[in-house]
Amino acid sequence: MPATITVTETSLWTNRKCLMICCIVSIANMQYGFDSAAVGSLQAMPGFLKVFGYDDPTLALGYGIDSTVQQLITSLLTLGSFVSSLVAGYFAGFLGRREGLWAACLLNAVACGIQIGTDKAGVLYLGRIILGFANGFLVTFSNVYTSEAAPAHLRGVMVALFAYWVNIGSVIGSVVVNYTKDRMDKLSYQIPLACLYIVPTLLAIGLFFVPESPRWLLHKGRDDQARRALERLRAGAIDGEELELEWTEMVRGVEEEKSVAQETSFLDMFKGHDLRRTLLCYGMIAGQTASGVWFLIAYSTYFLTIAGITKAFEFSIMNTCIGFIGVNIGMYAIRHWVGRRSILMFGAMACGICELVTGIAASVGQTSVSSGKVLVAFTALFQFFYNGCVGAASYPVATELVSSRLRAWTVGTATSLGYVLAWLTGFCTPYFINPEHLNWGAKYGYIWAASNFLCVVFFYFCMPEMKGRSLEELDEIFEAGVSARKFKGYECRIVEEAMHDIDIKHTGTTRKEDTVVESVEQRA
């Protein structure tokens, strides 16, 4: 009798144990959102400016901040994140995803202590760059882990938890600084900085209950541990032959990767079919910066303040909450409505239009009340579309574009590229928006509108549709050199071969025709 295995698409509730594990790991990204919201707002707080700025009665706040200090506070965090993301692949060659996250928690504790305890700008810079080291590991290893742990049909949702937690962190960070902004002492900024201990503490404890990535364990030859890790991740969702099929497919995929290269090196990312995958991953992460989001994350409160918006802090909180709504809708859309490619194109187009409108409004009347209202409205819309589309889909796409053996290397270096571009944005933005320099204000949106429209072109011609594919199937399709347009319809052989391997174990037959693949069923 031929072997018959029914492959089912299980719901999030059925996979609640895996979802909970991925939530624990993804909480790492909350740290970046909190820090970005809090530190971006510190630059508009008198208590902070008294220590790290200068008196200026002509300004609305009574204090100003030197553009160099403004640049370094934001950009050094990004620079530190660049360095740690760059070496993440080397670190992963010896230690696993969990160890990378634990190392980040330790670095975070050191960095926060330095920032809270100093009133010297130079020491503050040191704390910012060490915190950047921590954030690079947090972002890279959390997203690599969730990509490798999630079932194929739910990978988009579970990796999109990155955007989910970033937005929760941004909301909490905005609320905290809103309640401390009126203090005129050091506690106005020390309280938000002290809150940066919360996420790493929760994460460090939660990691004791998280199994290591089964794919990483397989690549390290620890097959028994990998099997137990997969069983924990799929507990209550699938068992029996379905679990055996996923395990066999995973083992076959790792074996095929090892047959291509016994050792994994940095340069492998730029060889053969992996070169295409690396460039697409880099392009996807670069698309985050091209949207203009880093400009808004780092400078939104300051930007609204100099534009004459009297409730800049409150509007920043509102925009962050709207972005959080966008994330939830985007995650649902990725799961039920559209593919990765479609949501990326729609999001980039919508973000570009929002940036264009803000630029036009500023050109018509930069200091008028009506222009301020347009600025607030379209900044909020930008947050909604970015978080619901590009933000929600970017890391699911980036992590599934690359091969399993190179995932930490490629995603890490891609994240480093993203941080370099974010650093450039943070470094250059003050020259455009600061009244001491070009004083463009919202007209800066013209630049980001153009870059968003270029992203639409890139997504349309270069980005393949990968929804519902297992990581091993994606390895096979890229090895076959399939073009982006034909990606969706390509029929993979690896699932059938995995079923054939199971059939051999059960019956001893070697005939491929004895394997029957049933159509995918939906199961609640």
Strand, coil or helix: 185: coil
Using the structure block, give the residue that is written with the tokens 């995650």. 331
Task: Identify the pLDDT of residue 524.
Answer: 41
Chain segment 383-407, per-residue pLDDT in tens: 999 999 999 999 999 999 999 889 9
- Answer whether 147's CB lies under 8 Å from 458's CB: no
Low-confidence winner among 22-31, 273-282, 364-373 (lowest mean pLDDT): 364-373
What does the pLDDT read at residue 499? Answer: 78
pLDDT at 297: 64
> Is the model's pLDDT at 463 over the cut of 90?
yes
Q: What are phi and psi of 238, to 5 degrees?
A: -135, 155
Is the separation of the CB atoms in 269 and 409 below 8 Å? yes
Per-residue pLDDT band at 35 (split at 50, 70, 90): confident
What CA–CA distance (Å, rounded) separates 76 from 420? 10
Q: What is the DSSP letter of 465?
A: P
Rg (the chain; Cα; Å): 24
Q: Confidence class of residue 293 from pLDDT cuts 50, 70 and 90?
A: confident
Q: Which residues, other chains included, contact 273 with Cβ-Cβ below 8 Å and sequence gap of 6+? A: 478, 479, 481
Per the CB < 8 A criterion, the answer to whether 18 and 149 are in contact is yes
- What per-residue confidence (pLDDT) applies to 265? 78
Which residue matches tokens 């200090």?
69
Burial of 522 (0-12, 13-18, 19+ CB in 10 A): exposed
Q: Which pLDDT does position 309 carry in this prediction?
A: 66
Structure confidence by residue, pLDDT tens digits, 404-427: 889 999 999 999 998 888 778 877
Give yes or no for residue 2 having a pLDDT over 70.
no
Evaluate if residue 366 carries a pLDDT over 60: no
Of 308, 290, 319, 348, the closest CA to residue 442 belongs to 308
- Find all residues with CB under 8 Å of 138, minimum gap 6, and list them: 28, 29, 31, 32, 101, 104, 108, 203
> Which tokens sit at 148?
């490798």
Which pLDDT value is given to residue 368?
58
End-to-end CA distance of the chain: 29
pLDDT confidence tier of residue 519, bands split at 50, 70 and 90: very low
* pLDDT for the residue 175: 85
Instruction: Identify the pLDDT of residue 464.
Output: 95
154-165: average pLDDT: 92
The pLDDT of residue 183:
86
pLDDT band at 173, cuts 50/70/90?
Answer: confident
CA distance 470 to 520: 14
- What domains can be seen in the chain, in order of their start residue? 3-474 (1.20.1250.20)
**What percentage of residues in the chain have a pLDDT greater than 70?**
89
pLDDT at 100 over 90: yes
Q: Is residue 170 very low, low, confident or very high in pLDDT (cuts 50, 70, 90)?
A: confident
469-486 average pLDDT score: 92
d(CA 40, CA 128): 13
C-alpha 293/C-alpha 302 separation (Å) is 15
pLDDT: is 500 or 353 the higher one?
353
pLDDT at 44 over 90: no
Least confident of 4-18, 186-200, 289-303: 289-303
Residue 105, both tokens: 């928690």
Given pLDDT bands bounded at 50, 70 and 90, which one contains residue 512?
very low
Lowest mean pLDDT among 123-132, 261-270, 453-462: 261-270
In this predicted model, which residue has the larger pLDDT, 236 or 212? 212
Residue 217 is predicted with a pLDDT of 95
Confidence of residue 298 (pLDDT cuts 50, 70, 90): low
At residue 286, the pLDDT reads: 95
pLDDT of residue 511: 44
Q: What is the mean pLDDT of residues 454-476?
A: 94
Helices (H), 195-270: 198-206, 214-219, 223-233, 240-260
Orientation of helix 293-306 relative to helix 272-290, angle to 10°: 10
Residue 270 to residue 278: CA distance in whole angstroms: 7
pLDDT band at 262 (very low <50, low <70, confident <90, very high): low
485 burial level (CB within 10 Å; 0-12, 13-18, 19+): exposed
Q: In the chain, what are the helix, strand and coil shares in percent, each to the nearest 5? A: 75, 5, 20
Phi (first) and psi of residue 64, to 5 degrees: -125, 175
> Could you report the per-residue pLDDT of 236-245, keeping only the tens digit for each?
898 888 899 9
Burial 24-40 (b: 16+ CB within 10 A, else e): bbbbbbbbbbbbbbbbb
